[in-house]
Amino acid sequence: MKTRSSNVQPTKIPRKYAELVEMHLPRPIHDQVAYENTVDVIDALAGHKLNADQEDYLELLSRLVETYEDEHVPELSAGTPLDRLKYLLTESNLGGEDLADLLGVDRSTAYKLLKGSRNLTAEHIRILTKRFKVSSDCFLA
């Protein structure tokens, strides 16, 4: 069984391509663990000033993740933002109480969000996009 292997720190990202490959060998992604490990490396690289080797490496990893997502992650564009939230929670085996914990709100607020009687705030969307590694567009109408 594969295990999560990366807790990559942005300050410890190698600068040379060969060292980057040694840190995390780019390979086709075939399972959730490899996907999450690759996304962790992408997250560590993204948003930082990168040299040419790091940019090339980031581009390659991004393409590998995109290919995996195209084949294994259902299209999230269908339905309403609430449908998408419910889908993401279901796929992650999370419920209303988990949503409350994730967003730092009480259970009644989480259930109101899931019923559609209350809208997500910008902060909720920020937390959800980070947790589920999706675009904020996923939660916008």
pLDDT of residue 27 exceeding 90: yes
pLDDT of residue 78 exceeding 80: no
pLDDT in tens, 12-22: 789 999 999 99
pLDDT in tens, 89-138: 988 889 999 999 999 999 999 999 999 999 999 999 999 998 988 888 88
pLDDT of residue 3 exceeding 70: no
Give the right CATH number for 81-139 from 3.40.50.12280, 1.10.1270.20, 3.30.200.20, 1.10.260.40.
Answer: 1.10.260.40
pLDDT of residue 46 exceeding 90: no
For the chain, percent of residues with pLDDT exceeding 90? 54
pLDDT of residue 5: 55
Determine the Cα angle at 119 with ends 117 and 124, to 5°.
135
DSSP letter for each residue of 58-88: HHHHHHHHHHHHHHHS--SSSS-HHHHHHHH
pLDDT of residue 57: 95
Q: What is the pTM of this model?
A: 0.54
| Domain layout of the chain by residue ranges | 10-72, 81-139
How far, in Å, CA of 116 to CA of 109, rounded? Answer: 10
Instruction: Give the DSSP H or E segment for 125.
Output: helix 122-132
pLDDT of residue 82: 92
Q: What mean pLDDT is reported for the chain?
A: 87
DSSP-derived secondary structure letter, 95:
-
pLDDT of residue 13: 87
pLDDT of residue 1: 44
